[in-house]
Structures are given as structure tokens and as C-alpha cells.
Amino acid sequence: MTSGNLNGNIAIITGSSRGIGRAIARRLARDGTAVVINWRENREKAREAAAEINAAGGRAIDIQGDVSVVADVRRLFEEAGNQLGPPDILVNNAGIARYRPIREVPEDEFDQVFAVNVKGTFFACQEAGRRMRSGGRIINISSTVTRMLLSNYGVYAATKGAVEQLTRVLARELGDRGITVNAVSPGPVDTELFRAGKTAEQIDRMANMAAMGRLGEVDDIADVVAFLAGEGGRWISGQVIPVNGGMA
């Protein structure tokens, strides 16, 4: 890792064609990191995100891959390595959510959410552990729902709880190489995906759950990820960091 900024580093950000992932890619690129925009289906948005970074003087490429498919995860790292070099930073941002009472969750839905959120994160961490240079950073995106009693969030909360435990174990396994592993745990963040299917009343109620009385913005999350990815995060590892504006 470089000192003071991220010049010369290489980052893979899964699920980064839009929303929080895109903001993270933009922020890391601004700090001098070459970034890999990973996408599953939305090629147009991914190309747009990479073009935006390149036009601003950064360096970005896009690579398609479904993180729920282990072969795709391995190909993502292989192609990134061939084009840019071994990664210094991995941000496991790709994730999906389905909301219904636990008693009503069908098996295929359970499998789908775990495949993306847990399996995808697990095997991306595995590849990073094999390929990442010493002194690297792995940052997993969790969620504040792991600490809240929210109906209909059972499967999603279970996946993020698994991600948090994986984070702690991996921090121990990779610590002797100077690689830090942390999780960032956002509260509600104002994205297109967050707003989908919610009424204005529901959105306001969730915003008011934060001490600061608003929804998070994507840059609120990206700034914390950038801190952990930089020199300032060198002595933080195995931690789950809430980034939620004071939400209980």
C-alpha cells in the first residue's frame, strides 16, 4: 500500500455499476486507485461508470461476472490481473435482498440470496487471499439490519451476519501478511434500489430512525471505505463499522 494516498493501487469492487458500489469506485479512483467495475447484467451502466472515471482522469475497466458463480469470480480476478495486475483492494459490495416473513420464504429465494451475498463474498475473499499483495485491504459491505429486529428481513439479515463472521475469521487468517479485513455496515442509503417498492411514508420513517434524521448518501459509505482502504486503516482489522448516522 502507498502512504498518504492510493496511487498505484488496484481495486476490484463487485456490483459497482451503480449505487453504493459505483460511488466507492469513483471515490477510490479519485484517490489514485485503478478500479475494476464489476457487473452482472447492466453492461450499459458499467461502461458509463468506467467512462465517467476515465474522463475525470482516473483509470477504470469493467468486467462482467456473476459473483454467485465461482467460475465467474475466478475469471473476474484473472481478467483484472491480466489487465491491471494483482489487486491491493477488494470491496465485496454485490448483494441482493428479498423481503418476506421467514415462514413464507421459499427454498429457491433463500438459495438465491445466500448465493450472492454469502457465497459470492466468500469466494471473492478466497481469491483475494490467494492473489492479493501483502498490505492489502478487504472490505465487505454488511448492513445495520444485523442489529435490528426488522420483520421480513430474516434471510437478508442472516446473510449479512454470515458476512460479518467471515470478516472476523479472515482478518485472523490474513493478518500475518499485513492484509486488513473489515466490514462496513450501512443503514438505509438513498439509492434507486432502496426506494424501489417503498412508499414516501416508509422512506421517511426509516430516515427518522437515524439520529441525524436523514437517509445515508452513497458518498457517506464510500468515504469510510476509502479511509479503510488507505494508510489510515492500517491498524483496523476484524471490525464491523456501523455507518448509519446514529441508528440504533
Distance CA 56, CA 119 (A): 34
Q: What does the pLDDT read at residue 2?
A: 38
For the chain, where are the E strands, in sequence order? 10-13, 34-39, 59-64, 89-92, 137-141, 180-186, 240-243
- Of the pLDDT bands very low, low, confident and very high (cuts 50, 70, 90), residue 3 is very low
Question: Residue 1 pLDDT more than 80?
Answer: no
Give the predicted TM-score (pTM) of the model: 0.95
The CATH number of the structural domain formed by 10-241 is 3.40.50.720
Q: What does the pLDDT read at residue 198?
A: 87
Residue given cell 472490505 in the structure block: 139
Catalytic pick among 39, 77, 153, 156:
156
Q: In this structure, is the dihedral angle defined by the CA atoms of residues 174, 176, 177 and 180, taken in order, positive or negative?
A: positive
156 catalytically annotated? yes
Write the pLDDT tens digit of every residue in 142-179: 999 999 999 999 999 999 999 999 999 999 999 999 99
